[in-house]
A and B are shown apart, each in its own frame.
Chain A
Amino acid sequence: MNVILAIKQYISKMIEDSGPGMKVLLMDKDTTSIVSMVYAQSEILQKEVFLFERIDSAGRETMKHLKCICFIRPTKENVDLLAQELRISKYGQYYIYFSNVISKQDVKSLAEADDQEVVREVQEFFGDYIAVNPHLFTLNIIGCYRGIDWPPSVLKRTSLGLSSVLLSLKKCPMIRYQNSSEMAQKLADSIQQSINKEAGLFDFRQPDVAPILLILDRSDDAVTPMLNQWTYQAMVHELLEINNNRVNLSQVPGISKDLQEVVLSAEHDEFYANNMYMNFGEICNNIKELMDEFQTKSKSRAKVESIADMKAFIENYPQFKKMSGTVSKHVTVVGELSRLVGKTSLLEVSETEQELVCKGDHSASLQKIKTLLHDNKVQQIDKLRLVMLYALRYETHSNNDLSGLIDTLRKQGVSDKYRACVNTILDFGGKRSRGSDLFGSTDPVAFTKRFLKGLKGVENVYTQHQPLLQSVLDQLIKGKLREAAYPYLGKNLLRDRPQDIIVFMIGGTTFEEAYCVHQMNKSTPGVRIVLGGTAVHNFKSFLEEIQLYAQTPRSNRSDGMRR
Chain B
Amino acid sequence: MSSQSSEIREGFLCPMCMKDLGTVSQLQSHFEESHSTEDKATLNQLRGLFDRAKRKFLGDKEEVYVQDAQKVTSDTISQSTSLYDVDYWQHQETGVTHSWTDMFRGVRDTRVDKYVVETNKLLIRLDKLISQDAPTDSGKRKAFEKSVVMWMPDSDAKSCRYCGRSFNLTRRRHHCRLCGGIMCDRCSHFLTHAYAKKLTNPSYNFDGDKDVGFLKRSGSNSSLNSLFSTEGDPHIRSCDECRKLLERRDLQMEQRNTKTAIVLLYEKMKYCIEECEKQLESYLPMVESLCVGESTYSLRDAQRKRGELVKKYELIDQISKRISLLGSDKEEGPSVKQALLQKSVRVYASNFMQENMMGLQNLPTEEQYDKLQKMRTAEIQKEIALERQATLQAQEVEKKKADKHVTTNKEESGSQKHVRNRSIGWKPAEQNVTRDSDDPMVQQMDIIRGYIAQAKEAQKWDEVHMLELNLKDLQMEYSSQQKSTWS
**Interface segment out of the listed A166-174, A375-383, A411-419, A541-549:** A166-174
- Chain B residue, CB-CB nearest to A270: B84
Query: Does B73 make an interface contact (CB < 8 A)?
Result: no
Query: Does B107 make an interface contact (CB < 8 A)?
Result: yes
Contact of B96 among A66, A120, A167 (CB under 8 A): A167
Contact of B104 among A63, A107, A169 (CB under 8 A): A107
16 further A-B contacts with Cβ under 8 Å, apart from A61-B337, A107-B107, A168-B96, are: A2-B92, A5-B89, A6-B94, A45-B351, A60-B337, A107-B103, A111-B108, A112-B108, A112-B111, A123-B101, A134-B88, A135-B85, A168-B95, A201-B96, A275-B83, A522-B85
Please give, as numbers and ranges, the residues of chain A lying within 8 Å of B354 by CB-CB distance. 318
Query: Does B143 make an interface contact (CB < 8 A)?
Result: no
Chain A: number of interface residues, binned into ranges: 35 or more
A487-515 CB mask vs B (1 if < 8 Å, else 0) is 00000000000000000000000000000
* CB <8 Å contact, A111 and B107: yes
A114 with B84, Cβ < 8 A, contacts A51-B344, A107-B103, A167-B95 known: no
* CB <8 Å contact, B351 and A274: no
* CB <8 Å contact, B348 and A117: no
**Interface segment out of the listed B259-267, B390-398, B438-446:** B259-267
A-B pairs with lowest CB-CB distance, top 4 = A168-B95, A111-B107, A50-B344, A134-B88
- Chain B residue, CB-CB nearest to A274: B83
> Which residues of A in the span 105-147 have a Cβ within 8 Å of any Cβ on B?
107-108, 110-112, 114-117, 119-127, 134-135
Query: Does A340 make an interface contact (CB < 8 A)?
Result: no
Please give, as numbers and ranges, the residues of chain B lying within 8 Å of A110 by CB-CB distance. 104
- Chain A residue, CB-CB nearest to B343: A50
Query: Does B270 make an interface contact (CB < 8 A)?
Result: yes
- Chain A residue, CB-CB nearest to B362: A315
Q: How far is the CA of A13 from the CA of B111 in the complex (A)?
A: 30
Contact of B94 among A9, A48, A124, A274 (CB under 8 A): A9
* CB <8 Å contact, A6 and B95: yes
* CB <8 Å contact, B88 and A169: no
Please give, as numbers and ranges, the residues of chain A lying within 8 Å of B338 by CB-CB distance. 61, 63
* CB <8 Å contact, A315 and B358: yes
> Which residues of B in the span 448-480 have a Cβ within 8 Å of any Cβ on A?
none
* CB <8 Å contact, B98 and A13: no
**Nearest Cβ distance between residue B88 and chain A, in whole angstroms?**
4
Query: Does A64 make an interface contact (CB < 8 A)?
Result: yes
* CB <8 Å contact, B88 and A311: no
Please give, as numbers and ranges, the residues of chain A lying within 8 Å of B87 by CB-CB distance. 521, 528
- Chain A residue, CB-CB nearest to B105: A111
* CB <8 Å contact, B96 and A126: yes
Most buried by A among B85, B88, B89, B348: B88
Contact of A65 among B90, B104, B260, B351 (CB under 8 A): B260
Query: Does B345 make an interface contact (CB < 8 A)?
Result: yes
Query: Does A230 make an interface contact (CB < 8 A)?
Result: no
- Chain A residue, CB-CB nearest to B112: A117
Most buried by B among A65, A102, A119, A120: A65
Please give, as numbers and ranges, the residues of chain A lying within 8 Å of B101 by CB-CB distance. 120-123
Please give, as numbers and ranges, the residues of chain A lying within 8 Å of B341 by CB-CB distance. 22, 50-51, 63, 66
* CB <8 Å contact, A50 and B104: no
> How many cross-chain pairs have Cβ atoms below 8 Å apart between A and B?
157
Query: Does A393 make an interface contact (CB < 8 A)?
Result: no
> Which residues of A in the span 59-82 have a Cβ within 8 Å of any Cβ on B?
60-61, 63-66
* CB <8 Å contact, B95 and A61: no
Query: Does A46 make an interface contact (CB < 8 A)?
Result: yes
| 14 A/B residue pairs, CB under 8 Å, sorted by A | A1-B92, A2-B89, A6-B94, A22-B263, A50-B340, A50-B344, A51-B341, A64-B255, A65-B259, A65-B262, A119-B104, A134-B84, A169-B92, A202-B96
Please give, as numbers and ranges, the residues of chain B lying within 8 Å of A115 by CB-CB distance. 111-112, 115, 248
Query: Does B168 make an interface contact (CB < 8 A)?
Result: no
* CB <8 Å contact, A125 and B104: no
Q: Which residues on A are within 8 Å of B, measured CB to CB?
A: 1-2, 5-6, 9-10, 13, 20-22, 42, 45-46, 48, 50-51, 60-61, 63-66, 92, 101-102, 104, 107-108, 110-112, 114-117, 119-127, 134-135, 167-170, 200-202, 204, 266, 273-275, 277-278, 311, 314-315, 318, 518, 521-522, 528
Please give, as numbers and ranges, the residues of chain B lying within 8 Å of A169 by CB-CB distance. 92, 95
Q: How far is the CA of A111 from the CA of B110 in the complex (A)?
A: 10
Q: How far is the CA of A194 from the CA of B78 in the complex (A)?
A: 41
**Nearest Cβ distance between residue B241 and chain A, in whole angstroms?**
14
* CB <8 Å contact, A126 and B95: yes
Q: How far is the CA of A327 from the CA of B431 in the complex (A)?
A: 57
Q: How far is the CA of A196 from the CA of B360 in the complex (A)?
A: 58
* CB <8 Å contact, A123 and B263: no
Query: Does B97 make an interface contact (CB < 8 A)?
Result: yes
* CB <8 Å contact, A51 and B337: yes
- Chain A residue, CB-CB nearest to B335: A61
- Chain B residue, CB-CB nearest to A317: B354
A51 with B83, Cβ < 8 A, contacts A5-B89, A65-B262, A111-B104 known: no
**Nearest Cβ distance between residue B232 and chain A, in whole angstroms?**
35
Q: How far is the CA of A200 from the CA of B252 in the complex (A)?
A: 38
Contact of A134 among B85, B336, B352 (CB under 8 A): B85
Q: How far is the CA of A50 from the CA of B339 in the complex (A)?
A: 11
B67-109 CB mask vs A (1 if < 8 Å, else 0) is 0000000000000000111011110111111111101111110
Query: Does B432 make an interface contact (CB < 8 A)?
Result: no
Q: How far is the CA of A6 from the CA of B107 in the complex (A)?
A: 31
* CB <8 Å contact, A45 and B344: yes
Q: How far is the CA of A124 from the CA of B100 in the complex (A)?
A: 8
* CB <8 Å contact, B348 and A125: no
Q: How far is the CA of A531 from the CA of B443 in the complex (A)?
A: 66
Query: Does B347 make an interface contact (CB < 8 A)?
Result: yes
Q: How far is the CA of A124 from the CA of B259 in the complex (A)?
A: 32
* CB <8 Å contact, B99 and A315: no
Contact of B95 among A92, A122, A170 (CB under 8 A): A170
Most buried by A among B251, B260, B341, B351: B341
A50 with B112, Cβ < 8 A, contacts A65-B263, A123-B100, A274-B84 known: no
Please give, as numbers and ranges, the residues of chain A lying within 8 Å of B263 by CB-CB distance. 22, 65
Query: Does B3 make an interface contact (CB < 8 A)?
Result: no
* CB <8 Å contact, B107 and A10: no
Q: How far is the CA of A124 from the CA of B354 in the complex (A)?
A: 36
Please give, as numbers and ranges, the residues of chain A lying within 8 Å of B45 by CB-CB distance. none
**Nearest Cβ distance between residue A199 and chain B, in whole angstroms?**
12
Please give, as numbers and ranges, the residues of chain A lying within 8 Å of B98 by CB-CB distance. 101, 123-124, 200-201
Please give, as numbers and ranges, the residues of chain A lying within 8 Å of B347 by CB-CB distance. 42, 45
Q: How far is the CA of A104 from the CA of B96 in the complex (A)?
A: 18
A170 with B111, Cβ < 8 A, contacts A20-B270, A122-B104 known: no
Please give, as numbers and ranges, the residues of chain A lying within 8 Å of B115 by CB-CB distance. 115
- Chain A residue, CB-CB nearest to B345: A50
A121 with B99, Cβ < 8 A, contacts A2-B89, A46-B351 known: yes
Query: Does B44 make an interface contact (CB < 8 A)?
Result: no
Please give, as numbers and ranges, the residues of chain A lying within 8 Å of B106 by CB-CB distance. 111
Query: Does B205 make an interface contact (CB < 8 A)?
Result: no
Please give, as numbers and ranges, the residues of chain A lying within 8 Å of B111 by CB-CB distance. 111-112, 115
Please give, as numbers and ranges, the residues of chain B lying within 8 Å of A13 by CB-CB distance. 94, 97
